[in-house]
Amino acid sequence: MTANPSPAHRWIRWPAGDTSPRLGYGADYNPEQWPREVWKDDIRLMREAGVNIVSLAIFSWARLQPTADSWDFGWLDEVMDLLHAGGIAVDLATATASPPPWLTALHPEILPVTRTGETLWPGARQHWRPTSPVFRTHALRLVEELASRYANHSALAAWHVSNELGCHNVYDYSDDAARAFRIWLRERYGTLDALNHAWGTAFWSQHYSDWEQLLPPRLAASHPNPTQQLDFKRFSSDALRDHLRAERAVLSQITPDVPVTTNFMVMGETRGMDYASWAGDVDFVSNDHYVHPGPQGLDELSFSANLVSGIAGHRPWYLMEHSTSAVNWQHVNQAKLPGELARDSLLHVGHGADTVAFFQWRQSAAGAEKYHSAMVPHAGPDSEVFRAVTALGRTLQALAPVAGSTRKPARAGIVFDWDSWWTAEHDSHPTALLRYRQEALDWYSAFLALGVRADVVPTGTDFSGYDVLVAPVLHVVPTELAECLREFVETGGHLVTTYFSGIVDQHDHVHLGGHPGALRDLLGIRIEEFAPLPEGTEVRLDNGNRATLWTDAVTVTAPDVLTLARYADGPQTGRPALTRRAVGTGSAAYVSTRLGPEQLCGVLAQLLVAAGVDSELPEAARGRVDLTVRQNGGADFWFLANRTDAPVPLPGVEGELLAASAEPDHQAGTVVLPPRAVAVLRRPRSAA
Ligand code: GAL
């Protein structure tokens, strides 16, 4: 079960003497890509746009340390001074993200190695092994130099460790990794007996008699040991976190008062880092997010921002990167429509972001990201993008009263679990088609469609405040998690879980006696065999739903289980497909198949009625507006984001209009949200 250490929470140190509440606004700033003449213009335009913080020096290692024994800080001194004079704070990077050519030429042994034994050569970025002692030494030397030099610089507001740790180097199979993996395994298991048991090495003659025999799951003749795979994932996430800790230790010694962060990548299928277990190692959580256009693109943004807030314990966080318009790394990189830049940003703010930043300030003229949008595009400031950027700056200024407020917990939660994500999609399983995050996202889409707020929360969270918990594909359920869910239900909570949940323990060993082992008694059902569906096939349920991917041969084992729907065709015809059991003052429901977002709506609506959870939005806005709520001592802040390209009326929704990305219309006393607009209302604080 994922630990969810509570982040200490120390926020950006704004320049001395200035204590007025504000939201941060800025970007990655890469002045080294431009001649000095441009820098002054940058500061002028930043001020025009309302920028008050930038992340600096992220990819500057080669510029700061041109050779092993020479340093060049002059240009950075100048940029820091210019920014400070312009009233712009600096989230200063430790610059260790991309090692310079002299380092890799001198020490090619820091280069990562893939599963198939290929070296990842220099030429792009992040070509370093998280476990390389040589890399660590050089990186920490740079961190120390930077920290000592800028410790007392008035622009320094926060430290930005490396950049997107694990973006390109999460899985390294080198000899360094093997060595570190062995140490990690020794710490985890203590004895080889315990490891052999956990890894189930009686299978396929895999018994280990010496620690030195242990390896990362390199390309093998067939399916590598599943627990070895799972442990390697856990280890790889921990190895990167270790790097974060090592840099942080240096920073904390030299500048104990400066908060430290690093940018997480809670987005899409980026899965290598168990960020719930990293949150305790930063002073505030930061995240990068890029929209994947498509039918669930906006849902996914909201889902990710929501999960970041869950990881941050609902406290304010820093949106370190997103894009003003197109990115450069998707198959087809689409520009944003008018209104989307602000809407995307404000959705993050609604979910608790107290700083909105973009990659990057000025669009590069050269290099691999020259076609990636920025705050100042190739076209220059006389452009739609820059006008939208300055307009957003004004909106964020108007939202200053929101700064420091926390996200208001919803009554419903979706449980998100990295162990289950990693394990449920392993090879050698009943189906290769299962997608953990997609299932969770589909439930989130169903909540959005019903206009019901739901928090996305990691497994270590205290669930007691929720009335409803959806735990989709909660595959790994150790005993204590099963107990925690039982207690949730017995004390009045309503749990909904799905196919392939409760199947294995923390070692990826099956809970015996029938599925879903760890949750079998709670749900009052028993499954003898899984029955996944071939690709492209669907079966019908007797409530009219069409199901894909998975079915289970469910037998009801407790008299108080209600069958909400049965299979109407296919091999499970007549068997229960959806069940619900009243337990204590709560209930436990099971969805044995994949229904997709639209059909989940109906199922969810039914379950929410039983739990007494309703939408806070007027009927006309449900599904069309994403409502997020922040709160402070005196007020609730309602962020109402129009998800559609048409105006949406909000009859009966009242409050003081604090800010809006586009001025709402009023029709006969009803506020109407323009297409793709976000309005923020301040309302008296309500308890619920
Ligand atoms: C992030 C990265 C940035 C930039 C951006 C482009 O992964 O941190 O440096 O590459 O993506 O979308």
CA-closest residue to ligand 1 atom 12: 327
**pLDDT of 431-466, one tens digit each?**
999 999 999 999 999 999 999 999 999 999 999 999
> Which pLDDT value is given to residue 688?
60
| Sequence-separated (6 or more) residues with CB below 8 Å from residue 406 | 314, 315, 316, 352, 630, 631, 632
> Which pLDDT value is given to residue 17?
67
Residue 35: cis peptide before it, omega within 30 degrees of 0? no
How far is Cα 303 from Cα 170, in angstroms, rounded to an integer? 23
**CB contact at 8 A, 333 and 311:** no
pLDDT of 391 > 70? The answer is: yes
How far is Cα 590 from Cα 340, in angstroms, rounded to an integer? 37
pLDDT of 471 > 90? The answer is: yes
Which burial class, exposed, middle or buried, applies to 522 when counting CB atoms under 10 A from its CB (0-12, 13-18, 19+)? Answer: buried
Total count of residues recorded for the chain: 688
> Which pLDDT value is given to residue 669?
82
> Which pLDDT value is given to residue 8?
56
**pLDDT of 572-588, one tens digit each?**
999 999 999 999 889 99
> Which pLDDT value is given to residue 1?
43
Is 329 annotated as ligand-binding?
Answer: yes
Is 328 annotated as ligand-binding?
Answer: no
Distance 301 CA to ligand 1 centre (A): 16
Which fold would CATH assign to domain 412-611?
Rossmann fold (3.40.50)
Q: What is the average pLDDT across 483-509?
A: 98
Residue with tokens 């984001």: 641
Is 163 annotated as ligand-binding?
Answer: yes
Q: Could you name the CATH architecture of 24-173+238-404?
A: Alpha-Beta Barrel (3.20)
Residue ranges lining ligand 1, Cβ < 6 Å: 163-164, 167, 288, 290, 321, 327, 359, 369, 372
**CB contact at 8 A, 551 and 543:** no
**CB contact at 8 A, 399 and 658:** yes
DSSP, res 465 = G
Residue 599: cis peptide before it, omega within 30 degrees of 0? no
Q: Which amino acid is at 436?
A: Y
| CATH 3.20.20.80 segments of the chain | 24-173+238-404
Helices marked H in 86-130: 101-106
pLDDT band for position 7 (50/70/90)? very low
* Domain boundaries 622-684, CATH class: mainly beta
CA-closest residue to ligand 1 atom 11: 359
| CATH 2.60.40.1180 segments of the chain | 622-684
Secondary structure (3-state) at 134: helix
Mean pLDDT of the chain: 96
Percent of the chain with pLDDT over 90: 96
- Radius of gyration in angstroms for the set of CA atoms belonging to the chain, rounded to a whole number: 26
**CB contact at 8 A, 433 and 549:** yes
**pLDDT of 114-138, one tens digit each?**
999 999 999 999 999 999 999 999 9
Side-chain half-sphere exposure of 49, counting CA atoms within 13 A: 33
- Listed range (14-18, 26-30, 85-89, 157-161) with the worst mean pLDDT: 14-18
| pTM (2 d.p.) | 0.98
| CATH 3.40.50.880 segments of the chain | 412-611
